[in-house]
Structure 1
Amino acid sequence: MNPIIAMLKENNISDEQISDVFEALTQNPLAAMATIGQLGLPQEQLQLLMGQVMQNPMLIKEAVEELGLDFSKVEAAKEQLNK
């Protein structure tokens, strides 16, 4: 299991909320950070999660694929950020 998904599940985040987070990550990564911040994770876990998201974008791709979401939206979002 993807470490980001595993951490969220360990903190009793529902599958629906996890899907919402990764849906947000695929559409607007910056807005997704606010969504993640609203999950009520303990501060140290929130920092760890944010660090994983920022330092290892491949984890996002793996999680998106694991959840069956559309990764092409992540690529489109990255292009928007680079403009």
Structure 2
Amino acid sequence: MNPIIAILKENNVSDAQIKDVFETLTQNPLAAMATISQLGLPQEQLQQVMAEVMQNPSLIKDAVDELGLDFSKVEAAKSQIQQ
């Protein structure tokens, strides 16, 4: 299982919320950060998730694939982050 999804599930984040986070991440990465911070994760795990999201785009692709979302939107979001 994707480590980002695993951390979210460990903290009782519902499947629907997880899917919402990754849908938001594919459309607007900055909004996704706000969404993630509102999930009530302990600070240490919140920092870990944020670091994974920012530093390891392949994990995002893996999670998007695992959740059955559209990866082309992730590529567009990634280009927004890099600008």
Normalising by structure 2, report the TM-score.
0.93
Unaligned runs of at least 5 residues, structure 2:
none
The percent of aligned pairs where both chains have the same amino acid is 80
**Residues in 1 aligned to 2:50 and 2:80: alpha-carbon distance in whole angstroms:** 21
CA displacement 1:42-78 (0-9 Å, x = unmatched): 1111011111111111100000000000010111223
**Residues in 1 aligned to 2:23 and 2:39: alpha-carbon distance in whole angstroms:** 15
Give the aligned partner of residue 8 of structure 2.
Answer: 8
TM-superposed CA distance for 1:81, in Å, is 4.1
CA displacement 1:9-61 (0-9 Å, x = unmatched): 00000000000000001001111000000000011110111111111111000
**Residues in 2 aligned to 1:76 and 1:54: alpha-carbon distance in whole angstroms:** 15
Q: How many correspondences in the alignment? A: 83
Normalising by structure 1, report the TM-score.
0.93
Q: Which amino acid aligns with 1:64?
A: V
Alpha-carbon RMSD across the aligned residues, in angstroms, is: 1.1
Q: Mean Cα displacement is larger for which, 71-80 or 57-66?
A: 71-80
Give the aligned partner of residue 28 of structure 2.
Answer: 28
**1:55 paired to 2:52:** no
Unaligned runs of at least 5 residues, structure 1:
none
Give the aligned partner of residue 77 of structure 1.
Answer: 77
